[in-house]
Amino acid sequence: MTYEETLHYLYTSIPVFQNAGPSAYKPGLGTSIALDDYLGNPHKAYKTIHVAGTNGKGSVSHLLAAILRQSGYKVGLYTSPHLIDFRERIRVNGQKISQEYVIDFVERHRSFFEPLHPSFFELTSSMAFDYFRTEEVDYAVIEVGLGGRLDSTNIITPILSVITNISLDHTQFLGDTVEKIAFEKAGIIKKDVPALIGEADHHSVAQVFLDAADKAGTQVLFAQDKEYLKESYLTETGKWHLDSTEYGQLSGQLGGVVQFRNATTVLGAIDLLKASGVNIPVEAIREGFEHVVELTGLMGRWQVLQESPKVVCDTGHNVGGWQYLNIQLEEEITQHKQLYMIVGMVNDKDINGVLELMPKEAFYFFTQASVQRAMPAKDFAALAIRHGLSGVVCNSVPEAVEKALARAGQNDTIFIGGSTFVVADALPLFIKG
């Protein structure tokens, strides 16, 4: 098979949550364990760091991978979903897995995995673990796909478990309260493995993590309880100035109001990694924060795609993420003449909760991503109007981008988001190759 044929096989033969949603969700570790045993338990060949959480886990995973790489280690990074190319999910020292490896993995092992009927995520997790062993990585940063306790990645025993934060998302799978969701995320906490919690804004959520750590027989650290940053603010260049207590001045490349919280989580994780014997020089921390995009290929986090008019995208897709995006967008309104919003969402999110947070002063291009889960643009627009938003309906992201660019002036801002998949459809229009 060619690479394109292999991807077509994966997307059509195996349930893909990215496209299908709930019908592709397959909780439980049985299939993942069977695949892992068949492959010879590849994840045991290197040390791992496990990252869960409602928001921020992608940014935190990429930052940790960048810092470890700059510390002189060979680092695997497994994240999801991808934005442009499937191979973004599996990287070593920032380089995507080769097309040849993807083809070979599927051809060599399909006779075993087809009778198991694995989910797309179960199979790609196994592929990642196998690839990292082949590449002889020192460390692999593994991002949880959904939840934690029953996630396919939860077969690993890491040297550190990180949970960024908790808010309501994927409630049909994880529970309808923050405490129930915290319980699922806490499932990655394991015996004798230190755990870091980035944020626990509710006492009841913090207690869930304390109980889980006590039951597992390990320690838990709450990053928000320690002063890792003396001062932090966004500079005119869109980067974060971070005055850290222990490492001095840091420059955070990732824009967006939420990133100072992610920075605190990362600094807490570094503390625990160093305590476990991982050598992480100060200069590696500085370089990791300042060059995370180049070092890891991270996209879609308040990413500026062009200037004049300014076009920015962000993958924030739930209420927890939009509480910060709304602050950022209000700042854009004060700095620019007009804000245009290209937005769409998938139909299994708290759409009304997010729409309530979107700025009412903006002009909207209501659209839909090219995935099965996308809410039809006209239905999304009808909901948005009830929340006081106004604009036009566009049946695809490229159409919305074309119309927004035609309408916007040189001093205006165009925001693209609402869904990871809206961003995924937009990126190829601005990033060639």
**pLDDT tens digits for 26-35?**
567 999 999 9
**Which helix or strand (DSSP H or E) is residue 365 part of?**
strand 363-366
Buried b (16+ CB within 10 A) or exposed e, 31-49: bbebbbeebeebbeebbbb
Confidence of residue 202 (pLDDT cuts 50, 70, 90): confident
Residues 127 and 53 in one domain: yes
CA distance 116 to 119: 9
**pLDDT tens digits for 98-151?**
999 999 999 999 999 999 889 899 999 999 999 999 999 999 999 999 888 999
Tell me, what's the pLDDT at 373? 85
Tell me, what's the pLDDT at 26? 53
Residues 155 and 66 in one domain: yes
Confidence of residue 23 (pLDDT cuts 50, 70, 90): very low
176 vs 236, which has greater pLDDT?
236
Confidence of residue 393 (pLDDT cuts 50, 70, 90): very high
Which residue segment(s) compose the domain that 327 sits in? 303-430
Amino acid letter, 283: E
Residues 53 and 200 in one domain: yes
> In whole numbers, what is the pLDDT of the chain averaged over residues?
91
Residues 320 and 426 in one domain: yes
Confidence of residue 5 (pLDDT cuts 50, 70, 90): very high
Boundary of a domain, candidates 277, 296, 315: 296
Residues 368 and 250 in one domain: no
Residues 388 and 261 in one domain: no
**Total count of domains within the chain:** 2
Residues 250 and 371 in one domain: no
Q: Which whole number is the average pLDDT over 208-223?
A: 94
Tell me, what's the pLDDT at 17? 40
Boundary of a domain, candidates 278, 296, 314: 296
Confidence of residue 24 (pLDDT cuts 50, 70, 90): very low
**For the chain, percent of residues with pLDDT exceeding 90:** 73
Residues 242 and 382 in one domain: no
Domain of 198, CATH number, reads 3.40.1190.10
Residues 260 and 330 in one domain: no
Tell me, what's the pLDDT at 320? 82
pTM of the model: 0.93
- The tokens for 301 are 């986090």
Tell me, what's the pLDDT at 18? 46
Residues 348 and 290 in one domain: no
Boundary of a domain, candidates 240, 270, 296: 296
Output DSSP code: residue 411: T
**For the chain, percent of residues with pLDDT exceeding 70:** 95
Give me the count of residues in the chain. Answer: 433
Tell me, what's the pLDDT at 172? 54
Q: Which whole number is the average pLDDT over 186-215?
A: 93
- Show the DSSP H helices in 145-291 as ranges: 171-174, 178-185, 203-216, 259-275, 282-290
Residues 321 and 283 in one domain: no
**pLDDT tens digits for 284-329?**
999 999 999 999 999 999 999 999 999 999 998 888 889 889 888 9
Tell me, what's the pLDDT at 19? 47
Tell me, what's the pLDDT at 50? 98
Tell me, what's the pLDDT at 15? 56
Tell me, what's the pLDDT at 350? 82
**pLDDT tens digits for 152-180?**
999 999 999 999 998 755 455 565 688 89
Q: Which whole number is the average pLDDT over 237-245?
A: 86
Query: Which residue, 307, 65, 28, is CA-closest to 184?
Result: 28
**pLDDT tens digits for 51-74?**
999 889 999 999 999 999 999 999
Residues 30 and 166 in one domain: yes
Cis-peptide, bond into residue 27, ω within 30° of zero = no
Domain of 307, CATH number, reads 3.90.190.20
